[in-house]
Amino acid sequence: MTYRQELREMAAVSHGVVTLAEAEDAGIPAVELRKLAARGALRAFGNGVYTHRDIQATSFTKPMIAVALAGRDAFLHRESVFKLLELLPVDVPKIQVGTSRRVRRALPAWMELEYRTDLMDDEDDVDNINDNLIFYRGVRSTTVGRALADVRRDMSTLQRLEVAELAIRNGYVTSQYSANGPLL
């Protein structure tokens, strides 16, 4: 199997996104990613993040790119979680990403980065998933319940109630959890 085929298979399971770190873990040298990007098979977003042009973008592709660009411990949060799960009917102008590490690199204008240390139990363990963090179809995110708590001051009660009802209907939170009040 060629490197291009391996990268295509990797991208197929991650909404078209491939990172340099993932490729190297699979035994694909960094130079091969740069060659494939130069030939047009991959689109480079910077910082070792690429999309495979043979894989059609999904609604999860751009959030996946944003989280990858922000670094290993980054996660989607706030309204972007609702938009990702189609719980919010309005468009979110920027993809909101949280991280517990300082990010000094330049990021695209369509991203908003927030430094957060309140969600990680152990900052040295980037694979740490606790009650506040979860993977939704491969995209590391805060839970819907945590996202609702985070937007408490920014969203109206009616909007939060609508999101909570949709989240309950779609199985992202339980009605028992919302009945206890932390969602609103």
Distance, in Å, from the CA atom of 50 to the CA atom of 167, rounded to the nearest integer, reads 31
- pLDDT value of residue 175: 64
Distance, in Å, from the CA atom of 45 to the CA atom of 67, rounded to the nearest integer, reads 12
Using pLDDT thresholds of 50, 70 and 90, give the confidence band for residue 122: low
Full 3-state SS string of the chain: CCHHHHHHHHHHCCCCEEEHHHHHHCCCCHHHHHHHHHCCCEEEEECCEEEECCCCCCCCHHHHHHHHHHCCCCEECCHHHHHHCCCCCCCCCCEEEEECCCCCCCCCCCEEEEECCCCCCCCCCCCCCCCCEEEECCEEEECHHHHHHHCCCCCCHHHHHHHHHHHHHCCCCCHHHHHCCCCC
pTM here? 0.87
User: Model confidence over 11-38: pLDDT tens digits?
Assistant: 999 999 999 999 999 999 999 999 999 9
